[in-house]
Amino acid sequence: MTDQTQSYHIQEDQHGSRLDRFLISTIEGVSRTYLQKLIRSGEVTVNDKVVKQPSRQLQHGDRVCLTLPAPRPLDTLQPEEISLDILHEDSHLIVLNKPAGMLVHPANRVNVGTLVNALLAHCSDLSGIGGVERPGIVHRLDKDTSGVLVVAKTDVVHRVLSIQFEQHSITRQYVAIVCGVPAKTTGTIVAQISRSQRDRRRMTTVKSNGRHAVTHYEILEASHKFAFVQLALETGRLHQIRVHLQHIGHPVAGDAIYGGEQRALNDADTPELKQALAHLKRQALHARLLGFVHPATGENLTFSAPIPKDIQQILDALQIHRGA
């Protein structure tokens, strides 16, 4: 496949439009985030001159050219026969239940054992928008977070799903066991998130110059020093749930990076709970439900994944069974 270049002439009623907003309103099935990436990488010209500012204002008569890169080859990654828990598959997409401990795509020099390696062995038709290392990957879950994830097989489906994520029309529901019991049964956490300057593995909340992030929570059940909570994302920032819960003083149990591992062990007051927490080996966070509109059929789809055994053992030790 080759790159595709498309040209447009700005009409009188489009005078003054931002470059990125003009393109998103003109090109079907491409997210603003992806278009802004193309602009900044020099794939857009205005009157034959490269423009890298998404906010560039257009004038009547301008000629805008956009080059949509062809999918990049996948021969740098090796397929691996790794078992997948597939919840749904058709010619357009795959929905699966990702286990804890599996990276979604290669990162930090790890290029084996990832979900992408498994997908390449499972099927040859994955979208190329994510590039060499992220074919088909529309969204991510942290390595040690389990749960429902959707993968695109075609570029069109990838773009449409990306737009749904960008517009927050995707339903994403998580469950977690947190340290301590929040004072309010339900609440909304609004705090900007940025990468920590002290530890590049971590994200942190900041008062300014971070990325806007919103997380809604509801306590499903509480038991002494722990709570079983349901969470809904309004935005999708890296480590968002884990950072936001730490921000309000209730880190996810087992989370070694954000303070939930040692605190949970310190607060465990029964042998059964201590044993269950020792067996956990990760944060007690699970993406339980994912709902979206199928890009090809228009059907409203919802998929769920049962609570994994390691989290269920903690709920049992806490004598919490609601939602399990």
Closest alpha carbon to 7 in 73, 62, 83, 87: 62
Instruction: Give the separation between CA 177 and CA 227, rounded to whole angstroms.
Output: 6
φ/ψ (deg, to 5) at 23 = -65, -40
Instruction: Give the separation between CA 48 and CA 247, rounded to whole angstroms.
Output: 48
Helix axis angle, 32-40 to 155-166, nearest 10°: 110
35 neighbors 20 (Cβ within 8 angstroms): yes
Q: Which residues contact 285 (CB under 8 A, 6 or more apart)?
A: 142, 144, 145, 146, 174, 175, 176, 241, 242, 252, 255
Strands of the sheet with 44-46, listed across from one edge:
4-9, 63-68, 44-46, 49-50
Instruction: Say which residue the tokens 């884990």 belong to.
Output: 242
The DSSP element (H or E) to which 166 belongs, if any, is: helix 155-166
Q: Is the dihedral of CA 26, 27, 32, 34 positive or negative?
A: negative
Structure-block tokens of residue 208: 């300014």
Q: Is the dihedral of CA 86, 88, 93, 96 positive or negative?
A: negative
- 5 bridge partner residues: 67
Residue 24 Rama label (left phi>0; alpha psi -120 to 50; beta): alpha
Structure-block tokens of residue 235: 């935005």
Which are the catalytic amino acids? 142
